[in-house]
A and B are shown apart, each in its own frame.
Chain A
Amino acid sequence: MSKLAHLWKRLSPASAFEAAMSPHMERLWRLALRFQGNPSDAEDLLQELMARAWQHRQTIQELDAPGPWLARVLYRLHVDRWRRQGGLDASVALDDAMQVEASLDTQTVLDRIAVNEVLEEVNRLPEHQRLVLLLHDGEGYGLKAISGMIDVPTGTLKSRLHRARATIRHALADGTETHTTACQVSGGG
């Protein structure tokens, strides 16, 4: 393994810490925005992360790639905040075992819908589905990376992602009568 370092010793602890955090801030900011939904709460969440990271600054400065570590801590802090605010989604485990039937609809749906309507529909998803959709399709994280970040098995994440996509298509296809058996949710397992 490479020995990191040398120069960190020359910097004041605070400067070295900020220098180590700096390359990750843009990505963390986007994550915090995705988690919290608005810039003000995102900044509060990042402030909490900075405080936590400062306690572990040795680790951060020694890790070759502290990005995943930081993303994980950010997610935990997000969940803590959410719990404190009483907002935990109790339905998390209920639909993971269910199968989503294949959509047999032969027409695309979303290209005929305004982007903001699509995004509104995304925000109506249950939190555990919204989260994986935003991280995967919005931020481009792979399922494995997301699994490491939020401690959910990739198989479960895959189901949630599919369910989220199917739900959005189904919701937005509603009202246009030509669409048939799209995305029925049925009990499984």
Chain B
Amino acid sequence: MDCRTLQHDLDALLAGDHGEPAMQQAHQHLANCPACRAYAADVQTLRRALADDAEGRMPTAVRQRLLPRRTPRPALAAAAAVIMAAGTALVWQHLGDQLPGATTEPAEWTTATVRLDLQSGNALSDVQFQLELPEGTQLEGHPDRRSLTWHDDLAVGSNQLTIPLILTGEPQGELVARLEHDGKSRELRLTPAEITRRGVGNGAGNRN
């Protein structure tokens, strides 16, 4: 393997994309070639510099402008007050205006998307779905509901149920999804830890 090949194809060679023998040749070449070692080391340095340069999380204010509905009702979220950065205060003030009696202090909140895989051996029609949500969680679009029931069909095989949640605090119990069909029922339970593990930090109002 020559230096040009190694430097040009460094990532793929080391990742084993060209097979095990090529990867070993590459390592052998690196062990014996100071020029390619220096090149590879500089690539690592460059990678670190670029990764560190990332500006990080989306500012909360931007998120609220882009996803205005994915914001918990302040009235429900008031428990944990957080010191706000100046930039987010305006947004919340604005929200507060729309919601009579709501506090303008945001709580720390995150979203979590819970995905349940419902396996069914047969196609089933008119299955009853019931969701029960623990305190500390809200169903996106239904901020004031602790439980929700509806009917739908299940296809043969895998059915994915996606539950978009807003976490306004630590979940205070299990999330229960209950399916009923023809007198039989099945239940899926998620513990608080399982729910929060799916959380996507959306940041509280303390970052901008």
Which secondary structure characterizes the binding site on chain A?
helix
Q: Given contacts A23-B113, A110-B46, are A102 and B159 in contact (CB under 8 A)?
A: no
Q: Is the interface of B mostly helix, strand, loop or mixed?
A: mixed
Given contacts A7-B163, A102-B35, A103-B39, whether A158 and B50 have CB atoms under 8 Å apart is no
Chain B: interface residue total (CB-CB under 8 A): 62
> Which of B76-84, B99-107, B150-158 lies on the face that meets chain A?
B150-158
Residues of B within 8 A of A187 (CB): none
Does any Cβ of B come within 8 Å of A29's Cβ?
yes
- B27 smallest CB distance to A (angstroms): 17
Which of these binds chain A: B1-9, B90-98, B180-188, B189-197? B1-9
Chain A residues 110 to 130 lying within 8 A of chain B, measured CB to CB, are 110-111, 115, 118-119, 122
Chain A, residues 1-15, CB within 8 Å of chain B (1/0): the string is: 111111111111011
Q: Given that A19-B70, A22-B164, A102-B7 are contacting pairs, would A133 and B50 also be in contact in the complex, using a CB cutoff of 8 Å?
A: yes
- B-side residues, CB < 8 A to A, are 2-4, 6-12, 34-39, 41-43, 45-47, 49-55, 57-59, 62-63, 65-70, 111, 113, 117, 129, 140-142, 148, 150, 152, 154-155, 157-164, 200, 202
- Which residues of B have CB within 8 Å of A149? none
Mark contacts of A140-177 with chain B using CB atoms, 8 A cut-off: 1 yes-contact digit, 0 otherwise: 10010000000000000011011001101100000000
Cα-based distance from A26 to B12 in the complex (angstroms): 27
